Amino acid sequence: MKLITWNIQWGRGADGRVDLDRIVEHARRFADFDVLCLQEVSAGYSDLPGCDGSDQFHGLADRLRGYTSIAGPAMDVPGSSGERRLFGNMIFSRYPVLQVFRHLLPWPAEPGVRSMQRAALEATLDTPLGLVRVITTHLEYYSAPQRMAQVERLRDLHREGVMHALMRQPDNDAVGPFSVLPRAAAAILAGDFNFSADSAERTKLLAPIDEKTLAYCDAWEVAHPGKPNEPTVGVFDKEHWPGPPFVSDFIFASENLKPFIKSVRVDPTSDASDHQPMLLELDYGALPA
């Protein structure tokens, strides 16, 4: 199973040009991915640099027709011509998709600090490893208190998902939306977290939760013990990130997936966004006979 996570900055490359074809090309060049998690997908935002306001949720789905596409906008506001302006996340999956959740994350008021509504998009996928919850998110950049509140919510959502996996039983008499779909205890959480590898937010995210909920581990640390994370931001885009490249993107996995982590890599060559795509590969060969 190959999963890529990538903040695509609405398709805007280091050259200032918005090009969704290039995004798809670079993702496919990096890996023959089974799951693709994207952040900063837009629709209706013609005021973003280089953006024509087109619906990128539909545009990307059209370019990736071999996948089930799931849109998870965090922002949904009216545009000047009556259209909706959307901004948020997407998941593409080759695997069957069961229940999808679009979680709005906390947005506590903080006067004088620029911020926006954030979300976590979750899909339960039926993979060769069994059911896996894949969650992609993009946390607040400017506000540390908001970011920490969002981390706390992600931990709560993981606990909730595990409890559903352990305790929800099929109800053969249920019809319509009361029909129970299975949910997974195993989870992958990927995206742009806007925190560093030594931050308090990352430490909190990885902390133990409770006796029934296996905590998250950092997939990079599992694959590269003792090696610092490779930078994911500011490698090519020196206009917006003039300093040294740094880490902002992570892939976390619940501890029950740890034995299956084969590799984690950052693509150092793509200039199609201000972020680098990141790849997690899980090895089915680790399954017991």
Closest of 268, 260, 275, 265 to residue 127, by C-alpha? 260
Q: What does the pLDDT look like over 136-189, one tens digit per residue? A: 999 999 999 999 999 999 999 999 999 999 987 767 778 888 887 889 999 999
In the numeric block, the tokens 């976390």 are attached to 252
Radius of gyration of the chain (CA): 18
Average pLDDT of the chain to the nearest whole number: 95
Domain residue ranges in the chain: 2-286
Looking at residue 289, what is its pLDDT?
A: 46
Spatial separation of the C-alpha atoms in residues 20 and 23, rounded to whole Å: 5
| Burial profile 65-80: b = 16 or more Cβ within 10 angstroms, e = fewer | eebbbbbbbbbeeeee
Spatial separation of the C-alpha atoms in residues 39 and 25, rounded to whole Å: 17
Q: What does the pLDDT look like over 103-142, one tens digit per residue? A: 999 999 999 999 999 999 999 999 999 999 999 999 999 9
The predicted model scores a pTM of 0.96
Q: What does the pLDDT look like over 193-208, one tens digit per residue? A: 999 999 999 999 999 9
CATH superfamily of 2-286: Endonuclease/exonuclease/phosphatase (3.60.10.10)
Q: What does the pLDDT look like over 36-85, one tens digit per residue? A: 999 999 999 999 999 999 999 999 999 999 999 999 999 999 998 888 99
